[in-house]
């Protein structure tokens, strides 16, 4: 079944996303409103509400949906693949303005529909990359069996999330942390093999 009406204008989508990103950087998460984004984008609020049912969905689309991962290139080994994937996780979590990710996640977890969308897009894209890395390691003979992708994902993501949002450590030290996380995860996965 096809939807009636005019097709969506990609220029409007881009204007909304750009306006949301700019206002988030200028005002912070709590202060951004649909009205402000509409004014900055030069569109009516109805244009935003045709695309996003809530402010959180609009911000999610501007910051998270555009971060769809295209897959981790084959770096030749499990260790190198995990290092590349960990760098992608660091980039996705450290890119948005400070304070935005915790505020967005709090709102995401308060709304079951938004939480489901978050899991199906952002978490799903990262999990697919983790699965791809693990499948390649099995195909290369580095791993005898495929480890649990959800556990591996948590091993990679957890320390980076904690560093940025719980421990409030220096973001400039993230490259060192990313390397340590990738090495520790690879060592754990390789040690768990028969």
DSSP code, position 11: H
Domain holding 92: CATH number?
1.10.357.10
- Do 34 and 75 fall within a single domain? no
Structure tokens at 11: 């220029």
**23: domain CATH number?**
1.10.10.60
Residue 2 has pLDDT above 50, yes or no: no
pLDDT band at 65 (very low <50, low <70, confident <90, very high): low
26: Cβ–Cβ under 8 A, 6 or more apart, which residues? none
DSSP letters of 81-101?
Answer: HHHHHHHHHHHHHHSSPTTHH
User: What pLDDT, on a 0 to 100 scale, did the predictor assign at position 66?
Assistant: 54
Can you give the pTM of this predicted structure?
A: 0.75
Whether residue 101 has pLDDT greater than 60: yes
Instruction: Identify whether the C-beta of residue 184 lies closer than 8 Å to the C-beta of residue 82.
Output: no
Domains of the chain: total: 2
Tokens of residue 77, six digits: 């080994």
**Residues 90 and 34 grouped into a single domain:** no
Does residue 99 lie in a domain region?
A: yes
How many residues does this entry show for the chain? 194
- Residue 50, pLDDT > 50, answer yes
Give the highest mean pLDDT range of 15-29, 48-62, 69-83: 15-29
Same domain, 76 and 34: no
Provide the residue range defining the domain that includes 132.
Answer: 65-191
């Amino acid at each position: 079944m096809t939807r009636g009406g005019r097709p969506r204008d990609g220029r409007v989508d881009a204007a909304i996303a750009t306006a949301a990103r700019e206002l988030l950087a200028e005002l912070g998460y709590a202060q951004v409103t649909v009205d402000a984004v509409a004014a900055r984008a030069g569109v009516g609020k109805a244009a935003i509400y045709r695309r996003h049912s809530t402010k959180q969905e609009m911000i999610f689309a501007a910051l998270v949906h555009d971060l769809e991962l295209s897959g981790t290139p084959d770096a030749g080994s499990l260790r190198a693949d995990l290092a590349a994937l960990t760098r992608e996780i660091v980039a996705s979590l450290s890119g948005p303005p400070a304070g935005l990710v915790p505020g967005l996640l709090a709102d995401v977890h308060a709304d079951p529909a938004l939480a489901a969308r978050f899991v199906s897009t952002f978490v799903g894209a990262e999990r697919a990359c983790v699965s791809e890395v693990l499948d390649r390691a099995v195909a290369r003979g580095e791993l005898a069996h495929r480890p649990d992708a959800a556990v591996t994902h948590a091993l990679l993501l957890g320390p980076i999330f904690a560093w940025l949002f719980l421990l409030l450590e220096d973001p400039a030290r993230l490259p060192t942390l990313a390397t340590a996380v990738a090495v520790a995860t690879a060592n754990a996965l390789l040690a768990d093999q028969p």
